[in-house]
């Protein structure tokens, strides 16, 4: 029992990651594990957790059935999060970027021999948080692999990762988990909230859904949805709404709008009678509004959102107020397209055109 408990406290992959886990275990058993793996897939589905689990497995001295034993020296060090041969490279001190100094520490780690005599594992999360200099520094480590190290690069946007980095990694795909698996994981954790609703708000990503339960994330999201609807209905100005949203995280604002946009496009692409996801009234109104905007305009807006997201993730330290104002003005222009579209449809119905 104790052993089981100890193993459970070390990360093991989620139920929806079994296929990828088998793949890694098989590669390892056949001594075919590449020097670097790129774990690619949408945000909020547990790729970092998976990378950590791979690290724990690789550093366990006697794994049992492809799971860390939980009691060896390697497992003990990992449980205490002090294993000297596991290196995690992620943005530090509230920053969104991984700085070149941090990559240099990683390069040193790879150059040295392992302290426990086994492998060395480095987790880099997310790769797109590397600025150009940091990415080039990492590239050196990828070009001159050291035999005993495994680099696990996590990416939510693999297309944004430098091609030279991508080409030096073996890519492991993590698709959006299936809804049933996500719900059975999320339901016991979402006390007092409807797991189906949380999952729908997160575009199906179970860990992202769980994050909505933290702090006032759900209220912020509702506030944003109401604000966007008010702006579309001319009850508030773009600048007023941008000012209201100042206190929140602009990245969350951009990502939420991206989510609604995706839903709008999804509705456009499906049959009318297909049931929509279990969402709130505001979500529903926003999605319907977006679904009535011509798709080429939605795609243009999507590109804009991607660019805003990139700005927010970059080291450039963008002006959040300006960025939010720009976004809200774009939203207003887009919403106008929607009402124009429905007005002209109405005129058609009324026989005015």
Which residue's CB is nearer to Zn ion, number 83 or number 166?
83
Binding mask 114-153 for Zn ion (x = CB under 5 A): ----------------------------------------
Q: Is 198 in the site for Zn ion (CB under 5 A)?
A: no
Cβ proximity to Zn ion: between 58 and 312 the closer is 58
**If binding is defined by CB under 5 A, does position 251 make contact with Zn ion?**
no
Using CB under 5 A as the binding rule, whether residue 10 contacts Zn ion is answered as: no
Contact present, 267 and 288 (Cβ < 8 Å): yes
Question: C-alpha dihedral over 330, 333, 335, 337, to 10 degrees?
Answer: -130
The minimum distance between CB 265 and Zn ion, in angstroms, equals: 47
Query: Could you give the CA distance from residue 151 to residue 166 in angstroms, rounded to a whole number?
Result: 12
Contact letters for Zn ion, residues 64-93 (x by CB under 5 A): ----xx--x--x------------------
Min dist. Cβ of residue 37 to Zn ion (A): 21
User: Of 10, 37, 40, 60, which lies in the binding site for Zn ion, with binding defined by CB under 5 A?
Assistant: 60
Q: How far is the CB of 74 from Zn ion (least distance, A)?
A: 5
Stretch that binds Zn ion, among 12-20, 52-60, 86-94, 329-337 (CB under 5 A): 52-60
Q: Hey, how many other C-beta atoms are within 10 angstroms of the C-beta on 140? A: 11
- Element housing 36 (H / E): strand 36-40
In sequence order, what DSSP letters do the residues of 186-216 get, joined into one string?
HGGGSTTS-HHHHHHHTTT-HHHHHHTTSTT
Picking from 146, 185, 142, the residue whose alpha carbon sits closest to that of residue 163 is 142
- Spatial contact of 13 and 39, defined as CB atoms under 8 Å apart: no
Half-sphere exposure of 335 (CA within 13 A, CB side): 22
Q: Is 306 in the site for Zn ion (CB under 5 A)?
A: no
Work out how close the CB of 115 gets to Zn ion at its nearest, in angstroms, rounded to a whole number. 16
The bridge status of strand 120-124 relative to strand 86-89 is parallel
CB nearer to Zn ion: pick between 60 and 209: 60
Q: Tell me whether residue 69 or residue 253 sits nearer to Zn ion (CB atom).
A: 69
Query: What number of other Cβ atoms are within 10 A of residue 146's Cβ?
Result: 15
27 binding Zn ion? (CB under 5 A)? no
**Interface characters, 158-187, with Zn ion (x: CB under 5 A):** ------------------------------
Separate counts of helices (H) and strands (E) for the chain: 16, 5
Query: What tokens does 196 get?
Result: 């189906």
- Residue ranges binding Zn ion (CB under 5 A): 60, 68-69, 72, 75
């Amino acid at each position: 029992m104790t052993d089981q408990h100890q193993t459970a406290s070390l990360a093991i992959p989620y139920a929806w990651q079994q296929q990828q886990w088998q793949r890694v275990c098989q590669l390892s058993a056949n001594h075919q594990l590449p020097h670097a793996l790129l774990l690619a897939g949408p945000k909020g589905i547990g790729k970092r957790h998976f990378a950590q689990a791979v690290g724990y497995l690789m550093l366990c001295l006697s794994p049992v059935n492809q799971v860390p034993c939980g009691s060896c020296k390697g497992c003990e060090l990992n449980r205490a999060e002090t294993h000297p041969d596991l290196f995690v490279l992620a943005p530090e001190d509230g920053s969104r970027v991984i700085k070149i100094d941090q990559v240099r520490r990683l390069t040193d780690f790879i150059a040295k021999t392992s302290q426990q005599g086994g492998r060395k594992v480095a987790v880099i999360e997310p790769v797109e948080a590397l600025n150009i200099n940091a990415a080039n520094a990492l590239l050196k480590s990828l070009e001159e692999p050291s035999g005993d190290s495994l680099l696990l690069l996590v990416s939510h946007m693999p297309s944004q990762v430098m091609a030279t980095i991508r080409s030096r990694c073996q890519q492991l795909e993590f698709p959006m988990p299936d809804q049933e698996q996500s719900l059975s994981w999320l339901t016991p954790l979402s006390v007092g909230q409807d797991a189906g609703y949380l999952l729908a708000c997160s575009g199906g990503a179970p860990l992202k859904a769980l994050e909505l339960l933290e702090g006032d994330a759900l209220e912020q999201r509702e506030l944003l949805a109401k604000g966007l609807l008010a702006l579309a209905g001319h009850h508030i100005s773009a600048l007023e709404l941008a000012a209201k949203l100042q206190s929140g995280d602009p990245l969350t604002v951009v990502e939420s709008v991206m989510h609604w946009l995706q839903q709008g496009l999804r509705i456009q692409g499906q049959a009318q009678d297909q049931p929509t996801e279990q969402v709130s009234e505001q979500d529903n109104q926003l999605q319907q509004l977006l679904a009535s905007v011509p798709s080429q305009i939605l795609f243009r807006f999507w590109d804009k959102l991607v660019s805003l997201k990139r700005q927010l993730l970059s080291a450039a330290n963008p002006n959040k107020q300006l960025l939010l104002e720009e976004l809200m003005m774009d939203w207003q222009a887009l919403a106008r397209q929607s009402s124009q579209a429905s007005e002209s449809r109405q005129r058609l119905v009324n026989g005015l055109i």
